[in-house]
Structure 1
Amino acid sequence: MSATYQKQNERIYWVDALRFIAMFLVYIGHLGSAAGRIYGFVYLFHVPLFFFISGLFYKEGAKIVATIKISFTKLIVPYFYYSILSLGVYALFLQKDVSTLPALLTQLVEAKRNFIEYAPQLWFLPCLFFVIVFFSIIQRFVKNKVFIMVAVTTSMALTIFIPQNPVSYSPGLPYGLDSALYYIFWFALGFCIKGGFITYFNHNGVAQKTITTLCGAFALLCFFGLHHHYANALTEVIGGKAYVLVWTLPTLILFVACIPLAKQLANINAVRYLGSNTLFLCGYEAIAKTSFVAFIGIAGHSLNIGDEYYTVVYISVLMFILYKVKSSIDLNKSKY
């Protein structure tokens, strides 16, 4: 097995690189339609991918209370910390009037997905917290992994068919509670198949290469929008809400399509490092983007993102800057 895929301090390099890719796609997704075709493409799978990877790292056996305490410290506390920082930068940079602060503070307290304008990525932290809480409770009483998947699939189905619009499209509850009931499926899937998934794709045999190649071909199909004709036909047959549930299989295929790229990027130290610090990337996304625009503005330039190429270059530059900042912070910490 190549050293690239081996553990170092219990980390698996290509999985860290996969986490980096997921975060990279999140940064792109929040650029909106300015990102071109990549925008529509990443929203096919990037959020489920993050929950799936989180499930890969879930440690079973811990007591529920202990899990809640640890997760609260790792997710809820940082949520408020990053929210306050992001809100401050947002208010100063856009010169928000004092009258707008109550509404922004309400967004901070409620933590509703798609309703945090000053830092749209931060909803993920409280949502993941409740995913972990719900999953810990399920696992406490359900030991069989098949039954666990039945439970979380039921949870996902309820969030799709009961509301007027599926929760994946129209969330509404504070702290991503309804989204947690939807995305817990992906978290549980990552947990239930993590051993076989990582072991299987650690290897580069003919079977693995064939599977990733076919998944990559499907990803290209989706990127260029060639799947829409078939997707629309399927929607007409089974209905729009059922299509959301059926799309779980193509989503998993898109996960696998990212693995060859993750293995290549795993050879880059900066990618592995950022992949192991996705909380930092998540917390500082809005601040980094706002600050970057401010800095180039000082130099008399403006940010113009016109297509997919500019999008990838822009996010790559941001990631490089964040890598330098984070590594410098860690280096200074190690001196004291």
Structure 2
Amino acid sequence: MSKKRYEEVDLLKGIGIVLMIMGHIPFEKEIVRLIYVFHMPLFFIMSGFLYKKRFFSKTVIWKWAKRMIVPYFIFAVLGLSLWMLEIKPSSLFQAIQPIKSIIWINTDGMPINGAIWYLTATLIVYLLYCFIDSYVINPLIKTMLIAVLMVVGFLLGKMRIVLPMGGSTAMVGIGFFYSGLLFKKYYSLLLKKVNLNKFFGIGFISCGLVMSFIGYCNGYVSMRTGNYGNNPAVFYLAAFIVTCVLLYVASIFVNNLSDIFAVKWLKSVGRNSIVYLGMNELIINIVGSLAGKFIKLTYDYKLVTFIFSCLALSCIVEILKRVNCLKRLFFLS
């Protein structure tokens, strides 16, 4: 029996990647601040949405460690190499600092490729949830335990305590992951309700718009650095509700506008998101440097950098797909 593929999840992840690229260029700070309200929680929520139950074992640990750690170090070495060429460190101490970030505190001081913290944080989230799910049978106790972990993660961010390899962020991420898993149980019911009552769909989208505004007003958010706005509870609710609404909107596009090039391209980006995530800052750095030679640092410069970065990343993905070992390594399709 073939697995059902949620194409709207591919589309939503593609949208998340595009927003991430916009945030890394970056565009105006107001746009970036709005994007940061939900764009990283989106990926944790969708990971939970797609989670398939497994029993915690050495096989699971090895499989997921290989899936995340190997690409992580490949992207890290690429970032370090470009950093060395650009900075040309004047001392051994200066050269060692980014290496320390790569192997320890990877949410700060990373050489160019800062976004890859997500890979190690996701590995921690997945293994931690798999362990809890395997040994904690009572759903209420499981929910309470995950809620406690999320609160601890918020407190660590407030106290500026950073755990290695994105560990403190992962404690917040597991709350979003679990929320995505729970949301999947009611997703089909939501779609049926919307199909029966279009006003419900309009109200749901309106709720997402309101929550995005509330999340924006809640203050600056960056999961990487442990900033969760003025009120972490508001951040959680805004990120979760906006993501759910965006998934619903993505389903509308998949069901009605799937032949449009932009939809096809975004689904492809979502399916191959690991390469876009791991290489976008490298490409932005290179494209931005080239664009800066011809265009003043204005909005046009940012737009050109964005367009050509997306084109370059898409070309890289297509090239990697043609090398079987790399296609398997990065799970490209």
User: CA separation of 1:289/1:202 partners in 2, compared to 1, >3 Å: closer, same or farther?
Assistant: farther
Matching residue of 2:213: 221
Whole-angstrom distance in 1 between the partners of 2:278 and 2:25: 16
Q: Does 1:74 align with 2:67?
A: yes
Matching residue of 1:129: 123
Letter of the 2:317 counterpart: K
User: CA separation of 1:305/1:109 partners in 2, compared to 1, >3 Å: closer, same or farther?
Assistant: farther
Moved more, 277-286 or 206-215: 206-215
Q: Does 1:273 align with 2:261?
A: no
Report Cα offsets for 1:94-118 as digits up to 9, x if no partner.
Answer: 4443532111111111143233242
Whole-angstrom distance in 2 between the partners of 1:62 and 1:281: 30
Whole-angstrom distance in 2 between the partners of 1:199 and 1:310: 45
Matching residue of 1:251: 239
User: CA separation of 1:247/1:108 partners in 2, compared to 1, >3 Å: closer, same or farther?
Assistant: closer
Letter of the 1:131 counterpart: V
1:284 aligned to 255, 271, 279, which one? Answer: 279
**Other structure's SS at 2:51 match:** coil
Whole-angstrom distance in 2 between the partners of 1:251 and 1:146: 23
1:108 aligned to 98, 102, 106, which one? Answer: 102
Moved more, 252-261 or 275-284: 252-261
User: CA separation of 1:190/1:96 partners in 2, compared to 1, >3 Å: closer, same or farther?
Assistant: same
Identity of aligned residues (%): 19
Report Cα offsets for 1:175-218 as digits up to 9, x if no partner.
Answer: 11122122110111112332322563488522552243213431
Whole-angstrom distance in 2 between the partners of 1:248 and 1:121: 21
Q: Does 1:153 align with 2:147?
A: yes
Which residues of structure 2 form unaligned runs of 5+? 220-227, 328-333
Report Cα offsets for 1:46-104 as digits up to 9, x if no partner.
Answer: 12111111111221034432221111011111111110011101221344435321111
Which residues of structure 1 form unaligned runs of 5+? 1-7, 232-239
Whole-angstrom distance in 1 between the partners of 2:281 and 2:76: 10
Matching residue of 2:204: 212
User: CA separation of 1:77/1:329 partners in 2, compared to 1, >3 Å: closer, same or farther?
Assistant: closer
TM-score normalised per structure 2: 0.80
1:325 aligned to 294, 312, 316, which one? Answer: 316
**Other structure's SS at 1:97 match:** coil
Letter of the 1:209 counterpart: G
Matching residue of 1:196: 186
Shift of 1:315: 3.0
User: CA separation of 1:81/1:256 partners in 2, compared to 1, >3 Å: closer, same or farther?
Assistant: same
TM-score normalised per structure 1: 0.79
**Other structure's SS at 1:114 match:** coil
Shift of 1:151: 1.3
In the alignment, is the contact (CA less than 8 A) between 1:212 and 1:256 conserved in 2?
A: no
Matching residue of 1:40: 33
In the alignment, is the contact (CA less than 8 A) between 2:83 and 2:111 conserved in 1?
A: no
Shift of 1:148: 2.3
Shift of 1:26: 2.1
In the alignment, is the contact (CA less than 8 A) between 1:51 and 1:184 conserved in 2?
A: yes
In the alignment, is the contact (CA less than 8 A) between 2:149 and 2:172 conserved in 1?
A: yes
Shift of 1:220: 6.0
Letter of the 1:290 counterpart: N
**Other structure's SS at 2:12 match:** helix
User: CA separation of 1:269/1:64 partners in 2, compared to 1, >3 Å: closer, same or farther?
Assistant: same
In the alignment, is the contact (CA less than 8 A) between 1:219 and 1:257 conserved in 2?
A: no
Letter of the 1:288 counterpart: I
Matching residue of 2:48: 55
**Other structure's SS at 1:112 match:** coil
In the alignment, is the contact (CA less than 8 A) between 2:287 and 2:308 conserved in 1?
A: no
Matching residue of 2:23: 29
In the alignment, is the contact (CA less than 8 A) between 1:112 and 1:173 conserved in 2?
A: no
User: CA separation of 1:264/1:326 partners in 2, compared to 1, >3 Å: closer, same or farther?
Assistant: farther
Letter of the 2:247 counterpart: I
In the alignment, is the contact (CA less than 8 A) between 1:22 and 1:46 conserved in 2?
A: yes
**Other structure's SS at 2:115 match:** coil
Shift of 1:29: 2.6
Shift of 1:325: 2.3
Whole-angstrom distance in 2 between the partners of 1:193 and 1:217: 19
Moved more, 147-156 or 287-296: 287-296
